[in-house]
Amino acid sequence: MNKEKPIIFNTEMVMAILAGNKTQTRRIIKPQPILESDGLFYFNGTYFNPDAFIDGYNKFCNIRSPYEIGQTLWVRKAARLFLKITGIRIEQIQDISQEDAKAEGVDGSEVMYPLNYDGHRFDEGKILYRPGFIELWDSRNKKRGYGWDENPYVWVYDFKELK
């Protein structure tokens, strides 16, 4: 197992971790896989299959997550806040579910009237987390060219706080 590594969260997200509301984070994969004219994705010249990852590593296209399952991370800006990675996967940012958006620590917004959102019907009183996550994502990544509309591939890290 690798040694402890730092990870950066803003103050709002550190507070969400401490409150037990944040148990996931997404980090942009760099460089991004490329869709070629043959309809396949490639990463560094090799076929890229985001479903072929085991514990954050894909031997076929030689892509490795910056963090590993079981690794301990220490949070910059927060003395004595340590996290343990419990899961790693790859997805495009727009694939985030309502449950995962909630696990990202964002505030939910209550549906005030019945509506259709993301191809699903939500009834009055339902709490939605994706809109808050989209806003948070774009506030941090759109200017860098990785906004919601660009739908970049990301590492998804599940973690738990070590007490």
Query: For 82-128, what is each residue's pLDDT tens digit?
Result: 999 999 988 899 999 999 999 999 999 877 666 666 666 666 677 88
- Mean pLDDT comparison of 30-39, 40-49, 103-112, 152-161, highest-scoring range: 152-161
d(CA 93, CA 137): 9
User: What is the three-class DSSP state of 94?
Assistant: helix
d(CA 11, CA 101): 18
User: What is the three-class DSSP state of 44?
Assistant: coil
Q: Are 131 and 51 in contact (CB under 8 A)?
A: no
Q: What is the pTM of this model?
A: 0.86
What's the number of CA atoms in the CB half-sphere (13 Å) around residue 92? 12
Q: Show the domains of the chain with their CATH numbers.
A: 5-162 (2.30.130.30)
d(CA 84, CA 68): 9
User: Which positions ≥6 away from 129 have C-beta within 8 Å?
Assistant: 98, 99, 101, 102, 104, 106, 107, 108
